[in-house]
Amino acid sequence: MHFGYSERCLEHDTGERHPENPDRLRAIRRGLAKRHGVEYAEPDPATREEVVAVHDATYVDELEAFVADGGGSWDPDTVVSEGTWDAALTSAGLAQWAARSALAGADGRNTPFALGRPPGHHAVPDDAMGFCFFNNAAVAAQTALDKGEADRVAIFDWDVHHGNGTQDVFYERGDVLYASIHEDGLYPDTGEVEETGRDEGENTTVNLPLAAGAGNADYCHAIDAVVAPALERFDPDLVIVSAGFDAHRHDPISRMRVSSEGYALMTDQIRSVTDDVGAATAYVLEGGYGLDTLAEGVSMVHETFDGRTPVSDDEDPDEKTKTLVGELQDLLDL
């Protein structure tokens, strides 16, 4: 893969004990140093105007002023430092680079993956939350649409937490599909099955809140039975994967059971469906708070695009997953 990265993202200082800290990127870089064919790009940050395309200008002004005053705790979970403004713009710019590169033809071993922080999928139009300030995937999608590089964009979010911010941005829009597999009842306690979009966005939101303990078979079944047909029906020009790695069985803040191999299996599934529909594919880093498992997850995505064949464990999905999938298939008429 071709990775986007910038040292500016390390300047967002959340403190030594915060789970979303600069060591996340350092761990990923160390893990990738052991792999074949890793290349890096350092694109420009997003502009304020590009961020305001998905966020309220008043909120963006408030955040900039808060940073200029030295930062502090925006909320109990979301920490601001003097480097947060530049890091947040840089992280959004990395996501834009990934989308732009994919739409320009980067695929296969050159598939782009934006390694930015802070993450973005909890950032709602008018507020920061859940470690997130600017919604990186949403900014990238909107920029591609505004520049005429794509007419339809899909965002598939496999982070263990529901991307409430991404859903909110596009909930009433027909030109962006948002699909999420997440742990039921986990922060921010959004993303119910019944949330499927409104007005022009009817049936362009797809939520699969899996029960705690779901593993590889559950995720793969959800992709095969719901996410893939939803993508095929939507027929996007670009698919952005909001790639969090906190559903890993050894991540410290979730109860899911996805293995490192599971991320390779999901990558292979998404690659297959995007190939079928002829969509460009870009990856954007979201969560993942066990340093070793985060690094391993990113490396497994890279190795899958580098030619390694994932190994299935041949387990069956849980009955609760099958029931949920059937309910959503009926709801969305898939």
Token reading at 264: 């390779």
Provide CB contacts within 8 A for 245, sequence distance 6+: 159, 251, 263, 287, 288, 293, 294, 297, 298
Question: Do 153 and 96 touch, CB atoms closer than 8 A?
Answer: no
Is 162 an annotated catalytic residue?
Answer: no
List the structure tokens of 334. 């898939």
Q: Which residues contact 132 (CB under 8 A, 6 or more apart)?
A: 78, 118, 119, 120, 121, 122, 123, 165
| The one catalytic residue among 2, 12, 55, 122 | 122
Crossing angle of helices 136-146 and 84-103, in 10° steps, is 50
Tell me the one-letter amino acid at 243: A
The burial class, CB within 10 Å (0-12 / 13-18 / 19+), for 109 is middle
Considering only CA atoms, give the Rg of the chain: 18
Residues sharing a CB contact under 8 Å with residue 261, sequence separation 6 or more, in sequence order = 216, 300, 310, 311, 313
Helix, strand, coil shares, percent, the chain, to 5: 45, 15, 40
At which residue do the structure tokens 């190939």 appear?
Answer: 275
- State the amino acid at position 251 in one-letter form: D
Give the residue numbers annotated as catalytic, written as ranges: 122
